[in-house]
Structure 1
Amino acid sequence: MATSSATENIRYVVEGGHKLSGSIEPSGNKNAALPIIAATLLTDQPVRLSNVPRIRDTETLVDLIGSVGVTADWTGQNELSIQAKEVRPASLDPELCTRIRASILLAGPMLARCGTVELPPPGGDVIGRRRVDTHLLALEQLGASITVDQSYRFVASQLQGADVFLDEPSVTATENALCAAVAAKGTTVLRNAASEPHVQDLARFLCVLGARIEGVGTNTLRIHGGRSLAGGDFRIGPDHIEVGSLIGLAAVTRSSITINNAGVEHLRSTLMNFDRLGISCRIHGDDLHISSDQSRKVKEDFGGHIPKIEDQPWPAFPADTMSIAIVTATQCEGVVMMFEKMFESRLFFVDKLIAMGARIVLCDPHRAIVAGPSKLRAARLESPDIRAGMAMLLAAMCAEGTSTINNAQQIERGYERIDERLNALGAKIIRQPSRDE
């Protein structure tokens, strides 16, 4: 396995124009693994997790829980053994917290376990303002006292169940509130909750440990809290965002690949929106096949109007797949409006695609018009965040010539050994340390 320290800069040298073939299996869902690792602090019994993506973000969170006294060991390439026999109510390491936004997921579990936690501001991708107000308001309604200064300090002698309405269906706020509610005394009703596959995975994990949660997969969760939790074994589900990335990759490189164990039950909106771009997939059980023979022709709306692909909370099209869809659209015939509603800086990476030859008009921070197909040319690129970085990798793989993607460690925060796994399908990606030039 290619590994690097959390601070090492990596670049990918990508030779474009190669078709891929074969089978690939998506990694475990990063956005499920992170809250589940945090939630292991709710029990003092051993927990064994499998299909955990071995990526920078999960490794950083493992380091974080280890810093407060939790025993966490990688017992296999994608297997974690965790026991939070003791949890110290210590201040979390600011340097580790700045690496990942997921550090905020420790607020609920540590508050439940220790009665107090001091959390430095979380880091993560710079894709616009990412407010934490929803977390604070939810935990406050469950009985926490919160002080905000240079850090967030939470105190609660005893969390109490409550009827909580989230001011937005935030995924991580739902996960924090869910963990706190499991430990709270009494019943909590969590309304306007996020219901993404990774939220469902967290709820199922907590139920394996003995929690009682009703409404999993809906926007209203009823949690009967205060039950003592045991240990257990749990397998992380497949990453539907990685599946969407692989669909886009097959489309732009005109390749034929099969995605095994794709978790097709969570792909309805993803498949619907790729179909609008003229990319269709065949489902065989839980496997997904994308053939090289695609129309790649944008389907106009009724009446010949320009179609729109827009992200929304689950079960609509995922925001994290928008960057992939934009690159895919550059290789499809027709015009489509891409409407990114959730993060005001996520579309700014399209200037790199324009420099590569893509025909894109950035209307404002949330909307872009893509006209295709465009012949992309190699370029020197910089990965600003996980998803834009993966989108740039797709663009480089279908471009003419050899591209360099700096800051590729951002991609590795979300995609496990992606260079190795794509090279096994026929890609030409060289991973190497990036030195200041």
Structure 2
Amino acid sequence: MATLVINGGKPLSGKVTLSGNKNALLPMVCGSLLTDERVVLTNVPPISDCDKLTHYFSDFNAHIDHDRQRDTLSLLHKYNQWRHHSAMLPTGIRSTVLLMAPLLHRTGEFILDQSSKGCSLGVREIDPHLEVVRAFGCKVAYDGNICRINAPQQMNAADIWLDYQSVTATETFLMMAVLTPGISTLTNAACEPHVKYFCRYLIGMGAKISGVGTSSLIVEGISTLNGISFRVPDDHHEAATYAAMGAATGGNIEIESDIVSELPLIIRQMRKVGLNVTLNGNRIYTDVSDFRVQPSLTPETFIKVEAAPWPYFPADLLPQIISATIQSQGEVLFWNKIYEGALFWSSELVKFGVRCHLSDPHRLLLTGNNTLRPASVDSPYIIRVVLGLLIAALQIKGRSEIRNADPIARAHPDLIEKLTHLGADVEWQDIQE
């Protein structure tokens, strides 16, 4: 069991270099299967999910060159090697589902074994993807363990209205539609920044997509896609996370990025709860915060931070802003409109002396004016929650521990190095139970 040990109470200061967006990279890696030409990705973050995908590709003699020093990944697939694919899909990563559309185009078949050790994909989780591929004419069979999908000899264009704005289902639609003849449309599409950049990636390969950045996508299918050299955008989640860390600890952090244009609403919510974060050109700056919650226009209501599908405040940033607000001088209501039960980890904040009340599975009221203390806490297996607990511990003078912190390494493998550079006293410690 990996534990993060934090000696908090120190302001974090310095410049931060952001990593590429993990959620943008993975569909691009899977989407490389849509062409027989070379795909070169730059600003590639060093994440284990990407390594698992490229290891899977290597079983089919793909030409892979991953230059970790230059953050560059080159992929070239040999079509004939995939005609009789037999290697087991990568397990334990949710991005496996993004292989569905490329493999249906390349081999006509996709098989997911639910009994495979380490598989993190339940049938309910892939329901939106099955709805998408069925609309293109694929047949789906499931016997309780194995989900088998077969493509028709000629796929048909589709007109789909998603039940909810699923990022990965939107990406599956795009990968199905770009190589399917005719005009395909998707209503209620996800429009997060990483989806927008994935559209631009496909357009760079020759795809014909309109409505990029909106909830309505129209795709005119073509017969082949070409190769591309494409820069993975910076991670807006990481930018906001370091901004929260700097403002919460009273430090001067400077973040330069090509995705600052995606952040005005996120920064405005931070300022609303008393965090000193500002935007200037292509940079984000933090300074000492007063933690004074902006008063509501109507005294009988709380200041709210509402997380919902983009362009609302992202649910993946809710743990970070909650924990950055534990020194607040007023009441704030945090509302997760996407995930039920995603705020139950707040019971661990209480161990730090945070006064909060879980109103229901979606809403958390932070009452403010807390007397904070270091603590040992347990994190659920959720990357963003580990980050949230870490932000809390960084503000509090003394030694704190976050147990079960392993998930953080999946998305932020260089986190400790970056925090140390900013002046934090944080280290991994393996504790034997």
Q: TM-score, normalised by structure 1?
A: 0.92
Residue 378 of structure 1 and its aligned partner are, at CA, apart by: 2.1
Classify 1:73/1:43 alpha carbon distance in 2 versus 1 (closer, same or farther; 3 Å). Answer: same
Q: Which amino acid aligns with 1:405?
A: I
The SS at the match of 1:278 is coil
Matches of 1:129 and 1:249 in 2, distance apart?
Answer: 37
Counterpart in 2 of 1:26? 18
Residue 120 of structure 1 and its aligned partner are, at CA, apart by: 3.6
Counterpart in 2 of 1:3? none
Matches for 1:137-286 after TM superposition, within 5 Å = 137-149=131-143, 150-156=145-151, 157-261=153-257, 263-286=259-282
Matches of 2:424 and 2:411 in 1, distance apart?
Answer: 19
The SS at the match of 2:11 is coil
Given that 1:51 and 1:236 are in contact with CA atoms closer than 8 Å, whether structure 2 keeps it comes out as yes
Q: Which amino acid aligns with 2:364?
A: A
Given that 1:243 and 1:262 are in contact with CA atoms closer than 8 Å, whether structure 2 keeps it comes out as no
Counterpart in 1 of 2:57? 65
Q: Which amino acid aligns with 1:396?
A: A
Given that 2:354 and 2:371 are in contact with CA atoms closer than 8 Å, whether structure 1 keeps it comes out as yes
Bigger CA drift: 344-353 or 115-124? Answer: 115-124
Percent of matched pairs sharing the same residue: 36
Residue 70 of structure 1 and its aligned partner are, at CA, apart by: 3.2
Given that 2:323 and 2:391 are in contact with CA atoms closer than 8 Å, whether structure 1 keeps it comes out as yes
Classify 1:221/1:254 alpha carbon distance in 2 versus 1 (closer, same or farther; 3 Å). Answer: same
5+ residue gaps, structure 1: 1-8
Given that 2:15 and 2:422 are in contact with CA atoms closer than 8 Å, whether structure 1 keeps it comes out as yes
Given that 2:12 and 2:245 are in contact with CA atoms closer than 8 Å, whether structure 1 keeps it comes out as no
Residues 1:288 and 2:288 are matched in the alignment: no
Counterpart in 2 of 1:396? 393
Matches of 1:277 and 1:425 in 2, distance apart?
Answer: 24
1:343-378 per-residue CA deviation (whole Å, 9 max, x = no partner) reads: 223212111111111111112221110022424322
Matches for 1:51-62 after TM superposition, within 5 Å = 51-62=43-54
Q: TM-score, normalised by structure 2?
A: 0.92
Matches of 2:48 and 2:378 in 1, distance apart?
Answer: 18
Residue 185 of structure 1 and its aligned partner are, at CA, apart by: 1.6
Residue 266 of structure 1 and its aligned partner are, at CA, apart by: 0.7
Q: Which amino acid aligns with 1:64?
A: Y
Matches of 1:287 and 1:231 in 2, distance apart?
Answer: 32
Residues 1:372 and 2:368 are matched in the alignment: yes
Matches of 2:124 and 2:189 in 1, distance apart?
Answer: 17
Alignment partner of 2:125 out of 121, 131, 134:
131
Residue 380 of structure 1 and its aligned partner are, at CA, apart by: 2.1
Matches for 1:256-405 after TM superposition, within 5 Å = 256-261=252-257, 263-292=259-288, 294-304=289-299, 305-384=301-380, 385-405=382-402
Matches of 2:354 and 2:347 in 1, distance apart?
Answer: 9
Counterpart in 2 of 1:112? 105
The SS at the match of 2:218 is strand
Q: Which amino acid aligns with 1:414?
A: A
Given that 1:90 and 1:117 are in contact with CA atoms closer than 8 Å, whether structure 2 keeps it comes out as no
Matches of 2:54 and 2:424 in 1, distance apart?
Answer: 31
Q: Which amino acid aligns with 1:82?
A: L
The SS at the match of 2:344 is helix
Classify 1:190/1:35 alpha carbon distance in 2 versus 1 (closer, same or farther; 3 Å). Answer: same
The SS at the match of 1:348 is coil
Given that 1:329 and 1:373 are in contact with CA atoms closer than 8 Å, whether structure 2 keeps it comes out as no
Counterpart in 1 of 2:76? 83
1:252-293 per-residue CA deviation (whole Å, 9 max, x = no partner) reads: 21111111115111112211211210224322221111122x
1:103-153 per-residue CA deviation (whole Å, 9 max, x = no partner) reads: 111111111111111124597989x99732211111110111111231322
Residues paired across the two proteins, number:
424
Alignment partner of 2:39 out of 7, 28, 47:
47
Matches of 2:309 and 2:59 in 1, distance apart?
Answer: 34
Alignment partner of 2:8 out of 13, 16, 24:
16
Matches for 1:397-436 after TM superposition, within 5 Å = 397-432=394-429, 434-436=430-432
Matches of 1:369 and 1:178 in 2, distance apart?
Answer: 39
Matches of 1:220 and 1:93 in 2, distance apart?
Answer: 35
Classify 1:53/1:372 alpha carbon distance in 2 versus 1 (closer, same or farther; 3 Å). Answer: same
1:15-49 per-residue CA deviation (whole Å, 9 max, x = no partner) reads: 11111111102211111011111101101111110
